[in-house]
Structure 1
């Protein structure tokens, strides 16, 4: 079995292109010793490299490539497996787009890949190579700001916190985390995240409840989220709450219970967003659809949470077209390094733009992730980069500030 890896990177400021031939000579012998074959394309600013060989050898080499200071912005585009190599010659063959026309380079690549394993025009390897040679890949990569050009300044003006539960006999607690528009310096909404009585994880809380009472406990717990919002005074800000889909199906009068909780704690339905999670399979779609209609008729907003990680996915998006879509952190994490994630996110953003649905990136922890996502068109963010959840209160928010040089 042959492992194939394709990545793209950008020429680093410390590397002189005139030394490229020397680099290739060293890499040829190194790769050959690892039984790795492939090609390297260079267009003057960016590289595209195809690596083929034993899986362990390819992974070990790619780890070293990621640490090489002679290039940056390394993005993994494809990992695949094949019975034979696309490029037979061990080592590395350079194709320099600065000295030859795209058509000439493409023809040379095809010849190099046609010895034993034909580089078929309908294959993914060929398509990545052709896109790079013709420059069409740039259309999908919008200019983004450099992570080093930003610093993050904490704003503690909204901080409100309590050292423990706010109410007597409180069966659970909630932590508040803001959803922000960083470049505008605005809070989009607050999310109330359920915690165990001792401040532990949602898993800790639900693990303590009998299975047959999960949905009842899920629904009734929202009373404490609304009470916390009233206690700390969220003003006119919106409050997002998570709800298992089957809580709306299995609990009679679920929407009326929610509305009563909202009113009793001094909020209005238009302030509340119900985030439907994808943590469970939805049965009883007719009942679920009726509950969603009731929520919307009452003025409560709807969001799909953890999109891309659960059971429903596109089915929920197609049927209910929420006002907000929250992309799961499994897609967001290290998106600046991962081409498949980037392609998926670009498709989500384009789809939601056509449906007028706001997109929220969840779990953003790195400046590099935020810079890439902002360039992709996302404006709403949630994650440790901006604010960690605060138990029984509102945390400090770190806002991006451009570094003056």
Structure 2
């Protein structure tokens, strides 16, 4: 199987530009033995490398590249498969944009990759190369802070911890996790995450409910969530509750039931954010639309949760324009290493900026992820890096502070 891999990276202080030709010469010999071909472009600030060959060989070369301390911020841009090589008989071709004019580089690439080897001006790999060359002299990626520029200071939030459930026969419990704005050291809201009666997983809880009772139980559980929020002493903070979209459709008077839960627990509608996921089929769009209008008219906020994990996210975004959009952890995980995820998240941010929708990155576990996401303009975050969910309470928050050197 012939694989294609493209990555971008930046040189570190350990890289000596004068030794670039020698470095490529050694790589050429190693790549020939592995039947890997490709090119390396360098513009003084970034590398762009194309690798082609057997899948196992390309993976071997890329693993070696990832451990090379002469560069960092290695971002995978493309993994693909092809019937033919684009670059034949070259273990590694070096093209230095500091020494060659862009037009000459492009001509050289087209010469080395002839039509016989499926390289033409409309080829996808060629377009990556052309974009890199056009971006030379600007930033080819995102200039974010390095992880070692930050330390974390743990502070306990002003909420009660270890509050007891409202009733001994309560069918579910809730763990609360803060959504924070790190640079302002502010808790934006608390998300109430459903747990089983003994603190088990959401799957454990919902597995005990008959399918025909699922939406009724989903809506009823929000009363327990808001009761716990009240006992935690959330004050004027907001609390986010997750609702299956069809719970608003199938349960008569669902919005009135929710408003009753809010009133009984001495909270205000403006403190509540209803998060709907995109992974449940909405079969009654008219009824759902009417329920959303009722929520908004009452002052309750709306968020799309797990955006990017399902099939209906763009449709929900276009139809309902929520107050908040939460980017799913599948897009967040290792985003600092993954070009396609970066492109998608940048597009989401740009779209939400046009629509005045707040963006939350959820599932943030690594400081590298946070550094990249913060650099592209995201201000609100949720994840283990900052605070884990706590059953019947809110755990201490780890706040990032810049290291002064």
Same-fold status (TM-score > 0.5): yes
Question: What CA distance in whole angstroms lies between the structure 2 residues aligned with 1:115 and 1:287?
Answer: 56
Q: Deviations over 1:281-331 (max 9, x none)?
A: 110111111110111111100000000101311000011010000000000
Q: What's 2:117 paired with?
A: 117
Residue 116 of structure 1 deviates from its aligned partner by 2.3
Verify the 8 A CA contact 1:159 1:395 in the aligned structure 2: no
Q: Deviations over 1:241-280 (max 9, x none)?
A: 0000000011111001000000000101110000001221
Residue 138 of structure 1 deviates from its aligned partner by 4.4
Secondary structure in 2 aligned to 1:116?
A: helix
Secondary structure in 2 aligned to 1:200?
A: coil
Q: What's 2:192 paired with?
A: 192
Summarize the Cα distance change of 1:136–1:206 in structure 2 as closer, same or farther, 3 Å threshold. farther
Establish whether residue 155 from structure 1 lines up as the match of residue 155 from structure 2: yes
User: For 1:351-366, what aligned pairs fall within 5 Å after superposition?
Assistant: 351-366=351-366
Secondary structure in 2 aligned to 1:99?
A: coil
Summarize the Cα distance change of 1:244–1:140 in structure 2 as closer, same or farther, 3 Å threshold. farther
Deviates more, 1:114-123 or 1:384-393: 114-123
Q: What's 1:380 paired with?
A: 380
Secondary structure in 1 aligned to 2:99?
A: coil
Verify the 8 A CA contact 1:174 1:225 in the aligned structure 2: yes
Secondary structure in 1 aligned to 2:95?
A: strand
Summarize the Cα distance change of 1:95–1:177 in structure 2 as closer, same or farther, 3 Å threshold. same
Question: What CA distance in whole angstroms lies between the structure 2 residues aligned with 1:164 and 1:339?
Answer: 45
Q: What's 2:399 paired with?
A: 399
TM-score (ref. length: structure 1):
0.97
Verify the 8 A CA contact 1:38 1:87 in the aligned structure 2: yes
Verify the 8 A CA contact 1:88 1:116 in the aligned structure 2: no
Q: What's 1:290 paired with?
A: 290
User: For 1:11-50, what aligned pairs fall within 5 Å after superposition?
Assistant: 11-50=11-50
Q: What's 1:53 paired with?
A: 53
Residue 369 of structure 1 deviates from its aligned partner by 0.7
User: Which ranges of 4 or more aligned residues in structure 1 deviate by more than 4 Å?
Assistant: 136-140
Residue 136 of structure 1 deviates from its aligned partner by 5.7
TM-score (ref. length: structure 2):
0.97
Establish whether residue 239 from structure 1 lines up as the match of residue 239 from structure 2: yes
Verify the 8 A CA contact 2:192 2:239 in the aligned structure 1: yes
User: For 1:3-402, what aligned pairs fall within 5 Å after superposition?
Assistant: 3-114=3-114, 116-135=116-135, 138=138, 141-158=141-158, 160-162=160-162, 165-402=165-402
Deviates more, 1:114-123 or 1:31-40: 114-123
Verify the 8 A CA contact 2:37 2:51 in the aligned structure 1: yes
Residue 164 of structure 1 deviates from its aligned partner by 5.6
Question: What CA distance in whole angstroms lies between the structure 2 residues aligned with 1:63 and 1:215?
Answer: 47
Residue 337 of structure 1 deviates from its aligned partner by 0.5
Question: What CA distance in whole angstroms lies between the structure 2 residues aligned with 1:279 and 1:390?
Answer: 25
Secondary structure in 2 aligned to 1:245?
A: coil
Q: Deviations over 1:128-173 (max 9, x none)?
A: 1111122269456342212210011111143532176353211101
Structure 2: stretches of 5+ with no match in the other structure: none
